[in-house]
Structure 1
Amino acid sequence: MRNVKAAVALAVLALAGCTSTSTDNPPLGQSSVTTTTTTGSTSAPTTLSSTGEPQPTAPPPQTTPAPLEGGPTEVPAAQIDGSTLPDIYEKKASTSADGRTVQVLGLAGGCKTASAEVTAQSGDQVLITLVTTYYPPPTGVLCTQELRSVPLNVTLDAPLGSRRIVLEAREEAA
């Protein structure tokens, strides 16, 4: 009989969690959010913030650059300085046939997107910054933590030639 009472209590608790309106208890310093879902309706769930603050949006989709014109030419490893990059980054680069477009590998995934920018150019080296941008998820949504290498193209003022590529990384929040 005791097992039956326990099973009934668990069933009642499980059914109590199946309501269509819920109020989350936010962490200290954040406003509460109420989400209401109407069954049988074609509209999406509505999220309202009691403070009127906009909710974070999903990151923009990660774009893939066009293939390098004339096919990629791998830059020799001795010509790439990735000494300041964390180990998770691949220290590789390729150039287009004319040498002005350089393709490097950034990190993206979950709530993060990748981009690259030419930070400085001189007669003997090119500094390329790999930027990982974090987009905070909406309240109650979790981000996956996987990161993957994604190709990123940058355009140089002049062909790379024998100039050294120096890679650095930066993280920022959207």
Structure 2
Amino acid sequence: MLTMAAACGGPTNMANAPASGSETAPQGGSASSSPSVPPPGKPQFDPPRGAVRVPDNRVDGTALPKTFPKEVYSDNGGTVLVVRAEEGGCGHALGEAVEQTAQKVVVDLSETKAQTGQMCTMDLRHPVISVALGAPLGQRTVVLKQSPPR
């Protein structure tokens, strides 16, 4: 019982823990000259500087589970969507614009499957992921949907 309590007493989200010998900048700070680019292999949890939040009335997340985040930003002149996704354990969030019309952009969110035989944590993370668009978002609605892990 004591071992379980000690194991549970550590950080709750190891995805934000620095690797051995590395340092992280404080929230809003800068560890390098390019703060919006995460270090290789590290998930990004904040939208890039300069990204503009898409108003909630232009984000349709009704197809997502109730607890799934429904946060979308536009970046790079509206040609890139930055979407708050969900991943856990050994999975990594994925996103793809599967439909782009004059009225809407449909973004399919998923995550990679964990490899069999691999030990995975039971944490839940909400990184932001980038989804390229064929044309600037403009006034189109963003429709979020979720597919099973791939």
Specify which of 89, 92, 115 is matched with residue 136 of structure 1.
Answer: 115
Q: Does 1:147 align with 2:127?
A: no
**Structure 2 residue aligned with 1:156:** 133
CA distance in 2, matches of 1:95, 1:129: 16
CA distance in 1, matches of 2:66, 2:42: 22
Percent identical among aligned pairs is 30
CA distance in 2, matches of 1:134, 1:104: 20
CA distance in 1, matches of 2:106, 2:76: 20
* Structure 1 residue runs without a partner (length 5+): 1-60
Q: Look up the SS of the partner of 1:78 in the other structure.
A: helix
Over aligned residues, Cα RMSD in angstroms?
2.2
TM-score normalised over the length of structure 2: 0.65
1 or 2, which has the higher strand percentage?
1
Q: Does 1:88 align with 2:90?
A: no
Q: Note the C-alpha offset of 1:63.
A: 4.2
CA distance in 2, matches of 1:65, 1:120: 26
Q: Is the 8 A contact 1:73 1:97 kept in 2?
A: no
Q: RCO higher in 1 or 2 (8 Å CA, sep ≥ 6)?
A: 2
CA distance in 1, matches of 2:54, 2:108: 17
Matches within 5 A, 1:13-32: none
Which of the two has higher C-alpha Rg? 1
**Structure 2 residue aligned with 1:98:** 77
Q: Note the C-alpha offset of 1:101.
A: 0.8
Q: Look up the SS of the partner of 2:77 in the other structure.
A: coil
Matches within 5 A, 1:1-174: 61=41, 63-64=43-44, 68=48, 71-138=50-117, 141-173=118-150
Count of residue pairs the alignment pairs up: 110
TM-score normalised over the length of structure 1: 0.57
